[in-house]
Amino acid sequence: MEHHQTVPRVEGFPPETLLQLYHNLLLPRLIEEQMLNLLRQGKISKWFSGIGQEAIAVGVTAALRDDDVLLPMLRNLGVFTTRDVGLPQLFRQLFGREGGFTHGRDRSFHFGSWKHRIVGMISHLGAMLPVADGIALASSLRGEDRVTAAFTGDGASSEGDFHEALNLAAVWKLPVLFVVENNQYALSTPVAEQYACRHLADRGAGYGMPSEIIDGNDVLAVFRAVQAAAERARQGGGPTLLEFLTFRMRGHEEASGTDYVPPALLENWRERDPIRRFEIALDEAGLLDDAERQRIRHEIGQHIRNLIDDALAAPIPDSTPQRELAAVFAPSQPGSTAPRAAGDTREQRYVDAIRDALGIALERDARVILLGQDIAEYGGAFKVSAGLLEAHGKQRVRNTPLIESGAIGAAIGLALDGFVPMVEIQFADFISCGFNQIVNNLAKTYYRWGAHVPVVIRAPVGGGMGAGPFHSQNVESWFTAVAGLKIVAPSTPYDAKGLLLAAFEDGNPVLFLEHKALYRSESGAVPRGHYTLPIGKARIAREGRDASIITYGVGVRWACAAADRLASEGREIEVVDLRSLQPWDIESVVDSVKKTSRALVLHEAPRTSGFGAEVTATLQTEAFEWLDAPVGRVGSLDTPVPFAKSLEKVHSAQGQLLESIRALLEY
């Protein structure tokens, strides 16, 4: 489609709708003009301008129903104003004042308001597109005809999340509108250097979804296209890729400038200004003359100035360390829940206990949805989910394409809309492909704007199976420094079942680490039915008096075996099973060390920067006066996990344990 200036066609729109659209277009423009003045005055530090692009945000929002969900980006002020989120609170948010949507914890449009069905962005472009899939899946599962619209730019269309989100939406025929604002430049890189296809909409055919190219500076063209795509989605027609041609009239942010843009190109697009074009159309239709335009501008402008004065006078957010720490996690259910009938147990393997927990979670809570590669008919890479498809159906036990980031993003969307999703990562090593979604999106959402995201991520970890560098890693230290993420690493079938059920009920993101070597080699008595164990509480796996080994996962088996060996020599070693790494039970660990006066921290992950360093540092301060020796630390060699079992034995921490505990006892 060749882009040329035309006056929007007003046929088919009632006069009151046209005038409301004009008001909706003008409001964000006048706000932005004031924000640019404030930027020049030094009253705000940064602004990402959407001047010249208002028709897309306004047209998309106006064409959708109030219960449809929008995922805007940083230039989509018109989404928030058209949805009428409340300008007093919005200005406080923009100025980082008390009373904003994030309480000063995040900036500008990095927030959501589920009451208004808006989910805000994170800085990592493309990341919110899979979230839109999850929200759309939630509406489909409920049988609602609601639509989700996700905004992105031409630059972000190069991101992997763009592909994963569009592919998933097409495969599952989700009611998603992918709104691409093609404003010709990604910061300073022109579209000619971003993609080789003629139009971004050309990609729709490759995904098996309809696509369209629309004049993004014609608010009525935007409205019509979105309304048609939304109706198709409501009727079960699946997603649509909408490419809106527009232009970013100012820099990526104001400090960037536009020196890299040819002046003639700027002038060409200035003539296509969406507000001016709409004013001409309204004037020709006899709906808006110059005097009325001036009156409306003055009225809106004065209202904006009053709101800005009020927001700038609001207090700067104040807090305490305790209050900020309390805001990281949503309130969770404390303590544990006992089995229905005490003593009613059966012998189960570690893998069976996890499967049992998944089945109980599905039975007890209709909101639980399982996602993952090959988890349905195949039963998962390790057959953990075998039989669950037959018991609960494909709506709730869902194979995903090969998309770690997309699957986790979709789980975030499901969780935002009231579901409790679980994502299985085939091997924990592959979790790196979803790292951004976990650490920057999932873990930070509740702290930023108070939205609950109860997502469980199961990941098989560990070596000992001759699987080589990419199927044997322990990944806990990649995540233990991430605020907002709980991490569990059970060592027994009893703990695995109780802690997994607790993870589903906790109300927060939980990373559940299952050691592959324990799946079919570790057995024990497991209560039938439902019970939970408290996340963040350690257990004493073996009582002792001479030294404490603090460990988790497969390390508990190694530590207990070493303790058995030393018991024959008259030494009694206490083994503390952390069970949870974030939060971890400092009190129980310190109490054990007070009793034994010696401590050794053990984990299978490489020693350097492993989680054991955190435990060791804590003991040096919290238990120093009770220590009779320096805290020992045993981890695997600082090498990738080798393939040959003979080399893996050299790499593994297991071979160092007995010598290290003897050295500690002899200190």
392 is an active site residue: no
pLDDT digits (tens, 9 = 90+) for 28-60: 999 999 999 999 998 888 888 899 999 999 999
Compute the distance between CA of residue 16 and CA of residue 12 in angstroms, rounded to an integer.
Answer: 12
> Taking Cα atoms as reference points, which of 595, 659, 594, 609 lies closest to residue 632?
659
Q: Show the beta-strand stretches assigned E in 202-257.
A: 211-215, 240-245
27: left (phi over 0), alpha (psi -120 to 50) or beta: alpha
The predicted-structure confidence for 569-622, as pLDDT tens digits, reads as follows 999 999 999 999 999 999 999 999 999 999 999 999 999 999 999 999 999 999
3-state secondary structure of 486: strand
Q: Distance between CA atoms of 641 and 83, rounded to whole angstroms?
A: 52
Given a contact cutoff of 8 angstroms between Cβ atoms, the answer to whether 32 and 49 are in contact is: yes
- pLDDT tens digits along 132-161: 999 999 999 999 999 999 999 999 999 999
Collect all residues with Cβ–Cβ distance below 8 Å to 644 and sequence separation of at least 6.
466
β-strand partners of 515? 461
Question: Which stretches does DSSP call E strand in 356-473?
Answer: 368-372, 397-399, 420-424, 456-461
Of 510, 496, 403, 418, the residue nearest 455 (C-alpha): 510
- Token reading at 557: 């088996």
Give the span between the Cα atoms of 250 and 46, in whole angstroms.
Answer: 13
pLDDT above 70 (res 322): yes
Least confident window among 320-334, 411-425, 649-663: 320-334
CA-only gyration radius of the chain, Å: 28
Q: Out of 103, 110, 163, 471, which one is annotated catalytic?
A: 471
Average pLDDT, the chain: 95
pLDDT digits (tens, 9 = 90+) for 97-141: 999 999 999 988 999 999 999 999 999 999 999 999 999 999 999
Preceding peptide of 583 cis, ω within 30°: yes
Quote the CA–CA distance of 194 and 179 in Å, as a whole number.
17
Please give the backbone phi and psi of residue 370, each rounded to the nearest 5 degrees, phi first.
-105, 130
Tens digit of pLDDT for each residue in 337-363?
A: 888 777 799 999 999 999 999 999 999
Q: Which amino acid is at 650?
A: V
Q: Which residues pair with 456 in a beta bridge?
A: 422, 510
pLDDT for 44:
87
Separation of alpha carbons 355 and 637, rounded Å: 33
pLDDT digits (tens, 9 = 90+) for 374-385: 999 999 999 999
C-alpha separations of 600 from 566, 570, 586 in Å? 15, 18, 15
Predicted confidence at residue 4, as pLDDT, reads: 44
Q: What is the pLDDT of residues 432-441, one digit of tens each?
A: 999 999 999 9
Q: CA dist 351 to 384, 493, 557, 571, Å?
A: 6, 8, 16, 33
Q: What is the pLDDT of residue 404?
A: 97
Per residue in 435-493, pLDDT (tens digit) is: 999 999 999 999 999 999 999 999 999 999 999 999 999 999 999 999 999 999 999 99
Q: What is the C-alpha separation between 201 and 174, in angstroms, rounded? A: 18
Helices (H), 285-369: 290-313, 321-326, 350-364
Give Cα separations from 631 to 606, 612, 620, 664, 667 (angstroms): 17, 10, 7, 8, 11
255 confidence band (pLDDT: 50, 70, 90): confident
Domains (range + CATH), the chain:
52-67+124-290 (3.40.50.970), 345-527 (3.40.50.970), 539-666 (3.40.50.920)
d(CA 502, CA 360) in angstroms, rounded, equals 12
**Rounded CA separation 101/322 (Å):** 20
Tokens for 224? 């019509």
pLDDT of res. 334: 65
- Residue 373's pLDDT is 97
Q: Which two tokens stand for residue 599?
A: 């401590």
- Identify the burial level of 193 via C-beta atoms within 10 angstroms of its C-beta, where 0-12 means exposed, 13-18 middle and 19 or more buried: exposed
What is the model's pTM? 0.96
Over 50: is that where the pLDDT of 3 sits?
no
- What is the sign of the dihedral through the CA atoms of 281, 283, 287 and 289? positive
Percent of the chain past pLDDT 70, that is, above it, reads 99
pLDDT at 5: 61
Q: Letter for the amino acid at 242?
A: L
**Residue 501 confidence (pLDDT) above 50:** yes
Query: Of 334 and 262, which is predicted with more confidence?
Result: 262
